[in-house]
Structure 1
Amino acid sequence: MNAPINDKQSFAQLPLSAAMQANLAQLGYTEMTPIQAASLPLALAGQDLIAQAQTGSGKTAAFALALLHKLDAARFDVQALVLCPTRELADQVTQEIRRLARAADNIKILTLCGGTPMKPQMDSLGFGCHIAVGTPGRVMDHLERGSLNLSALNTLVLDEADRMLDMGFFDDIVVVAKQAPKKRQTLLFSATYPEGIARLSAQFMRDPKEVKLSAAAQQAPTSIRQLAFEVREDERLHAVSLLLNHFRPASTIAFCNTKAQCRDLVDVLAGQGFVAMALHGDLEQRDRDQVLIQFANRSCSVLVATDVAARGLDIAQLECVINVEVTPDMEVHTHRIGRTGRAGADGLALSLASLDEMGRIGRIEQMQGYAFVWQKLDTLIPAPGNVMQPPMDTLQILGGRKEKIRPGDILGALTGEAGFKFEQVGKINITEFHSYVAVERSIAREAVKRLSEGKIKGRKAKVRRMADLADLAD
């Protein structure tokens, strides 16, 4: 059975608690997105669900509200498990569930992903938690060691299931599902419907209802302005800097089809004074995390990424997406440009295409139902002034969760003894062994000096600019 996509409806129509409704209103959740309107009534009724949903469609809130609705806060057992393809997506899902869980008392959510030590995760599981969000491999590790018990599980969520299948996690997902109680709800979200989705659902879902967005609902939002530029192969990389100097977006993701193209473009942009960083599959997990932290906290203007590395990223206030090369996959194009123009904001999507890529352009236009607006490269005029620099700079502090450092400790050190204003401090990220804080670019070096002369949580602080570390690496 296919469930129809409804017109926009209010969250107030859903059978949620008064506390949850108040929290949704406070978070600005008023009208449901199409995927939420179609899936939430079914999910809240306890139905198994296969839902087609792109990144940015509101799918996380759709399954988060369903699993929180049936959660028993008094029972400190894992009652919901969300499987994600990447650590980045798992972190974002965890953050979103935490925001939505504020209406309930003391809901504990753990992220179980590779790339971080097992023991702290095992210790945290030993104290008990309500919701686990993780990647299949690490969740399997915990199940094999006995540190994760799924006997109390009532909701299993597979987020971006098609991506997990692409990455070879079919068997792992089946093993995890078989260790969960048979009487549970399973919610599967996928952007596409490869053959493996049917095989998965046949193995462990109970009469799942299907929710598919219409082709029109999958088109690029009207808030995204799409422009295309014809280029020769030998001018493609230089054209990216022309676009940046003309449009001057504060934050941009530039998508390349290969890792080599990523590296080459970063070199070209860095040589012209842009603060650009690469995100691709060859990076170590620590390096990936540091790049994403700096881009998300506005210390890096241009993230140059492959599609695999960027899958699942949700960067707030992303002004521009540049398709350095046109993807051969039409759905990937929709994923790329859908990262800008979120939450009603205006977005800009710029595509560079050679003559050889015109066939791909035609197929994308056919899928979208409208044509690109074409402009010539020679119409791009650099805006007055120097190359745009990001507004923030990131400081790395030795010490993180292991030393029980909290964001308030760092903010207090900067605005107290160091003497900076609250407005000069941006995002603070705490990892296992390090902490990262964004500060206004103009005060970064002085902030390093003052923090290094003082203490954080009673200890001498070891602080350095991430930009200085990058210079040393070069």
Structure 2
Amino acid sequence: MPTFSSLPLPAALQRSLDALGYVEMTPVQAAGLPALLDGRDLIAQAPTGSGKTVAFGLGLLHRLDPSYVKPQALVLCPTRELADQVAREIRRLAAAIPNLKVLLLTGGVPLAPQLASLRKDSHVVVGTPGRVQEVLETNALSLAKVRTLVLDEADRMLDMGFEKAIREIVRHLPPQRQGLLFSATYPEDIRRIGREFLHEPVEVTIADAQEKPQIEQRFYEVDTPRKPAALAALLGEAAPESCIVFCNTRREVDEVAESLGGAGIHALALHGDLDQRDRDEVLVRFANRSCRVLVASDVAARGLDVKDLDTVVNYELPPDADTYLHRIGRTGRAGRSGLALNLVAPREQPRARKLAESNGSELRWETLRTGRSAPLPAPMATLRIDAGRSDKMRPGDILGALTGDAGLPAAAVGKIDVFPTRSYVAVRREDAGNALARLRAGRIKGRNVRVARI
């Protein structure tokens, strides 16, 4: 596999890659980066987790002039979570470039603080189409000097109805620019957008070049009223360490999470009606193993990148084969095996037949074994600390307080996440009560802070 050192990258970007431990390129990086660095437009069909963020991040950073502090790159993403991940990755890639500024513009949070942040110019803007369009309407943001436009997960942005907003944003861009479009699927709408927004793009398709994931797919025919009990039974039997249950509607997400809780299976719900803080906390708890089952809608889960996800459940089959493949493709990554469980009501049989036609093979139908579901306790619990980056809080400060005054062994402390005004730390569930009491009685970084278990 080609290495990053073979690319004509500036020394600062190469230092960042070395510091991050990035040596070999993924297929999408190897296929796309030469064209990106040469200034060509690009359409890349690549699944989530393929390394596309590093590819376009290096491409846009390569074209930036750090001494000119105006927006020179714009990245549009379908969801807040994905935009946040992209902004963090670009900052990591730009760590060796002095004073490079990345601005994040997403919905779900008040507009006023983001408008205030625009008083200081930035080099890169990452955001969701709706919020970027809203900011443009206030005349607080100029995109006249943008050199690179990135449409990340373009298929989902169109599915979510953002085409009009994207068109309005593109009107504010200079005609001479580099355009990069990344999409997990390549329907006609994406081809049309590519023809309109890009100039003679290089086309890269990675799906065939990647090793096919080993995902065991099982299908169960279950009447709709029996689905809650069937889901609990399947989860109790499979006992996944980490599982996403996909639903087709927000209402269904809440109902399924509630029914699992009634069956003794702790599950968290993720959908678009949650405010930003609640969404952040759900994602933190799922990623740090404080919850083993996440119930989500497709839109809410877009951009969610969970390592070692061993099981995906379709509580209801999605309406098309592309969405189905995208859902189950979240498991079985990096050479690991995965499990996809599908509950199919009689009215969903036409969808199942379409899946079989798309796969070119018969689906594996199994008989559901009924019985009482087993509880699925999570190995960790999460403590919320009401202090964050704005208070100069660092992960090491929290770890030190837990292993020092609180007396926990380092092995009892899991993932630590520090946000601007709050922090979260995962501790072994059996140690959570003691850790909470000790932190409340003691100090973190020399001062008292509020701590709660969530």
Q: TM-score, normalising length from structure 2?
A: 0.89
Q: State the partner residue of 1:3.
A: none
Alpha-carbon distance in structure 2 between the residues aligned to 1:20 and 1:296 = 29
Higher mean displacement: 450-459 or 153-162: 450-459
Q: State the partner residue of 1:310.
A: 301
- Output aligned runs, 1:24-63, within 5 Å: 24=17, 27=20, 29-63=22-56
Letter in 2 for 1:223: Q
Q: 1:234 aligns with which of 225, 237, 244?
A: 225
Higher mean displacement: 101-110 or 132-141: 101-110
Letter in 2 for 1:280: H
Q: Does 1:154 align with 2:147?
A: yes
Rate the CA distance shift 1:232–1:166 in 2: closer, same or farther, 3 A: closer
Cα contact 1:83–1:157 (8 A) shared by 2? yes
Q: How far off its partner does 1:303 sit?
A: 0.5
Letter in 2 for 1:414: L
Q: Does 1:464 align with 2:430?
A: no
Q: Does 1:451 align with 2:439?
A: yes
Structure 2: stretches of 5+ with no match in the other structure: none
Q: How far off its partner does 1:163 sit?
A: 1.9
Q: State the partner residue of 2:163.
A: 170
Q: TM-score, normalising length from structure 1?
A: 0.85
Q: State the partner residue of 1:77.
A: 70
Q: State the partner residue of 2:125.
A: 132
Alpha-carbon distance in structure 1 between the residues aligned to 2:224 and 2:116 = 53
Higher mean displacement: 164-173 or 292-301: 164-173
Q: State the partner residue of 1:357.
A: 348
Q: Does 1:400 align with 2:388?
A: yes
Secondary structure of 2:237 counterpart:
helix
Letter in 1 for 2:419: T
Q: State the partner residue of 1:243.
A: 234
Cα contact 2:213–2:336 (8 A) shared by 1? no
Task: Give % identity.
Answer: 53
Q: State the partner residue of 1:425.
A: 413
Secondary structure of 1:460 counterpart:
coil
Secondary structure of 1:225 counterpart:
strand
Rate the CA distance shift 1:228–1:411 in 2: closer, same or farther, 3 A: same
- Output aligned runs, 1:106-117, within 5 Å: 106-117=99-110
Alpha-carbon distance in structure 2 between the residues aligned to 1:274 and 1:241 = 8
Q: How far off its partner does 1:117 sit?
A: 3.5
Q: 1:300 aligns with which of 284, 291, 296?
A: 291
Residues 35-55 of structure 1: CA distance to partner in whole angstroms, max 9, x if unpaired? 333322222211112222332
Cα contact 2:79–2:299 (8 A) shared by 1? no
What do you get for the CA RMSD once the two structures are aligned? 2.9
Q: State the partner residue of 2:277.
A: 286
Q: 1:64 aligns with which of 44, 49, 57?
A: 57
Rate the CA distance shift 1:181–1:347 in 2: closer, same or farther, 3 A: same
Q: How far off its partner does 1:151 sit?
A: 3.8
Q: 1:434 aligns with which of 422, 429, 432?
A: 422
Q: How far off its partner does 1:133 sit?
A: 1.2
Higher mean displacement: 331-340 or 34-43: 34-43
Residues 166-223 of structure 1: CA distance to partner in whole angstroms, max 9, x if unpaired? 3332232223223233322111112334554455445443233333456x569x9332
Secondary structure of 1:165 counterpart:
helix
Secondary structure of 1:189 counterpart:
strand
Alpha-carbon distance in structure 2 between the residues aligned to 1:362 and 1:228 = 12
Higher mean displacement: 15-24 or 205-214: 15-24
Q: 2:397 aligns with which of 395, 403, 409?
A: 409
